[in-house]
Chain A
């Protein structure tokens, strides 16, 4: 039983990283109706920025600095490559983000090189006992930081002017424009927020095992999470991210004994299986809005 709870806790830790990434996807989707495939590269860039800055300023200062840096990078990308595409089909913009992802990742890979870069984080693989449970400190740190960030984010959307503007623009762009909301600023802000969250997620992905060129694949697990939760639901992104994390962790712990015929490392692809199963039942995810179509 303790094994099971430990596995769930590990899943929640990893899942909160997916949730951060998924929130970035959903924020951009709500504002621009586009899935930004550039998130993996922003995550990787965040992790690398932390690893370099930590050598200069120490880890705790490096994290917010790197997050702001990546938010700035995301703002730049939005201004240069995404804003001119307003009004084009969403698919075109999505493919452009795919192109951006490839470009940014290659540049970032240049900073990584062949070796694994360490984050300089205080957690590493250290373990801590909670009663009978033994869990890694970093899972708890991930869960805690994500909880705080999610609370802040929801408060931002609920109580601030800009949060209101973003919700208005997501609800109806034209009406929001008519009310004086700067939709351009909303686009920029959504990319900035997504970049910020991706950088934090990247830092957490890099804790312990460090960051290498192939780390970006992890960010793609946020895609099943957003499909699971529904593309336009912030709450859904958090629930989806945590679910995906737990499912993956449970598969990692038990699939080898229960269903060895699924092959080694099945846990890595289990999020996609969950996604396919959910879509069979609910094509718009658990919390997504069902589109009403008119010709």
Chain B
């Protein structure tokens, strides 16, 4: 016997909105879309076009700084996946970044050089490999991490950074040893070096474009992950892990997945980051790097992809500002041996910014943006 009653069909496809009502959702697909309002679609496109145009406008030095910021942003998005979306606080991000950096460097390094190298300089080989090896390390750590919660987890991942630092300092065939370092990964696409003047313009211009394209790809991927079943499972675990388990979210599987995805992003960031300077030193993967990533996530906005990008840009762009302080405030010296010097001011600034944002604007730069947006959207009704 068949049921003859007709249920009204829930519109599933992307249907059109009525004119002049940009915030009305008429279908589920519309509600779940990556960019769910026309304004978002337009402005994202404008921002992306602007970012590409910047490569033609800005000086090479600025482009180099921005390229670094984009690479760091990929890492920050990764940390946000595990710490922001899934709520598993990891202080060990620097460790996974290091694994990515060294995988990339070893694969692309010359096979007959002083350090370990396999001579596979093609970026499409070493970049995914850097991500995958880091992800494998993340998945290896995850079963241990899945048993722990909250601050226990933070301390354990902190231990990971110290262990990693030791291994990378000792394994000098791979890393060149502390103070010496080795050549970083060489970005080469189908035989063309991307870190030299070439088709895409100067060295800085082409590096900038590579980082920008990769950042867009990975940011979209992360946003897509966050709106999927997996992202919802992450959020459930973050909000109350036991409740999540009760409603049928397999905790261990999703925690492993969160660590794996986060480490993949960290590995990619590590592989890319050092192509700009062309040089990796094992001492750079210290606790400070982890804290910087935490600062990016917290300052940018927890559990938002755009926030991570803003946070990374903020942390990187604050450096030229502090470096110009000695000219403005004569008390602050640019000499590292004197106090107070710019580097100390910078470190204090990281600390203070983390504290100030957590106290006054827990949603970070993203929260400020939301507030500004709501103000203008509801103007003149400012309530």
Asked if B144 is at the interface of the complex by the 8 Å CB criterion, the answer is yes
Q: Which of B10-18, B152-160, B375-383 is found at the contact surface with chain A?
A: B152-160
> What chain A residues lie within 8 Å of B171 (beta carbons)?
263
* Pair A269/B148 contact, Cβ less than 8 Å: no
Chain A interface bracket (under 10, 10 to 19, 20 to 34, 35 or more): 35 or more
Asked if A280 is at the interface of the complex by the 8 Å CB criterion, the answer is yes
In terms of DSSP, what is the predominant structure of the interface of chain B?
helix
With A91-B89, A106-B347, A269-B162 in contact, is A99–B355 under 8 Å at CB?
A: yes
Interface residues of B in 330-359 (CB under 8 A from A): 337, 339-340, 344, 347-348, 350-355, 358-359
Compute how far the CA of A224 lies from the CA of B163 in the bound complex, rounded to whole angstroms. Answer: 12
With A102-B291, A272-B159 in contact, is A279–B358 under 8 Å at CB?
A: no
* Pair A90/B150 contact, Cβ less than 8 Å: yes
Compute how far the CA of A99 lies from the CA of B359 in the bound complex, rounded to whole angstroms. Answer: 12
Interface centre among B148, B154, B167 (most CB of A within 10 A): B154
* Pair B347/A276 contact, Cβ less than 8 Å: no
* Pair A279/B144 contact, Cβ less than 8 Å: yes
Compute how far the CA of A36 lies from the CA of B107 in the bound complex, rounded to whole angstroms. Answer: 41
> What chain A residues lie within 8 Å of B144 (beta carbons)?
276, 279-280
In the complex, residue of chain B having the shortest beta-carbon distance to the beta carbon of A280:
B144
Asked if A176 is at the interface of the complex by the 8 Å CB criterion, the answer is no
**How far does the Cβ of B353 sit from chain A's closest Cβ, in whole Å?**
8
**Please, how many residues of chain B have a CB less than 8 angstroms from a CB on the other chain?**
43
With A224-B159, A283-B147, A295-B243 in contact, is A266–B166 under 8 Å at CB?
A: yes
Compute how far the CA of A231 lies from the CA of B149 in the bound complex, rounded to whole angstroms. Answer: 12
In the complex, residue of chain A having the shortest beta-carbon distance to the beta carbon of B346:
A106
Asked if A96 is at the interface of the complex by the 8 Å CB criterion, the answer is yes
* Pair A102/B351 contact, Cβ less than 8 Å: yes
Q: Which of A60-68, A108-116, A141-149 is found at the contact surface with chain B?
A: A108-116
**How far does the Cβ of A89 sit from chain B's closest Cβ, in whole Å?**
9
* Pair A220/B158 contact, Cβ less than 8 Å: yes
* Pair B156/A35 contact, Cβ less than 8 Å: no
Compute how far the CA of A293 lies from the CA of B148 in the bound complex, rounded to whole angstroms. Answer: 13
**How far does the Cβ of B378 sit from chain A's closest Cβ, in whole Å?**
28
Interface centre among B163, B165, B294, B362 (most CB of A within 10 A): B163
> What chain A residues lie within 8 Å of B352 (beta carbons)?
99, 103
Q: Mark A229-265, 1 if CB is under 8 A from B, else 0.
A: 0010000000000000000000000000000001111
Residue of A34, A101, A265, A279 near B166 (CB, 8 A) is A265
> What chain B residues lie within 8 Å of A194 (beta carbons)?
none
> What chain B residues lie within 8 Å of A107 (beta carbons)?
348
Residue of A90, A99, A109, A273 near B151 (CB, 8 A) is A90
Asked if A133 is at the interface of the complex by the 8 Å CB criterion, the answer is no
With A95-B294, A269-B163, A276-B144 in contact, is A101–B156 under 8 Å at CB?
A: no
* Pair A98/B291 contact, Cβ less than 8 Å: yes
Asked if A81 is at the interface of the complex by the 8 Å CB criterion, the answer is yes
> What chain A residues lie within 8 Å of B350 (beta carbons)?
99, 102
Asked if B139 is at the interface of the complex by the 8 Å CB criterion, the answer is no
Asked if B61 is at the interface of the complex by the 8 Å CB criterion, the answer is no
**How far does the Cβ of A230 sit from chain B's closest Cβ, in whole Å?**
10
* Pair A275/B154 contact, Cβ less than 8 Å: no
> What chain A residues lie within 8 Å of B229 (beta carbons)?
none
Asked if A227 is at the interface of the complex by the 8 Å CB criterion, the answer is yes
Compute how far the CA of A55 lies from the CA of B280 in the bound complex, rounded to whole angstroms. Answer: 43
Asked if A92 is at the interface of the complex by the 8 Å CB criterion, the answer is yes
* Pair B159/A81 contact, Cβ less than 8 Å: no
Interface centre among B152, B160, B242, B246 (most CB of A within 10 A): B152
**How far does the Cβ of B166 sit from chain A's closest Cβ, in whole Å?**
4
**How far does the Cβ of A69 sit from chain B's closest Cβ, in whole Å?**
20
* Pair B159/A223 contact, Cβ less than 8 Å: yes
Using a CB–CB distance below 8 Å, which chain B residues touch chain A? 89, 144, 147-148, 150-152, 154-156, 158-160, 162-163, 165-167, 169-171, 240, 242-243, 246, 291, 294, 298, 337, 339-340, 344, 347-348, 350-355, 358-359, 362
Some 17 contacts from A to B, beta carbons below 8 A apart, are A35-B151, A35-B155, A84-B359, A96-B354, A96-B358, A98-B294, A98-B351, A102-B351, A106-B344, A106-B347, A110-B339, A223-B158, A224-B159, A275-B156, A276-B156, A279-B152, A295-B242
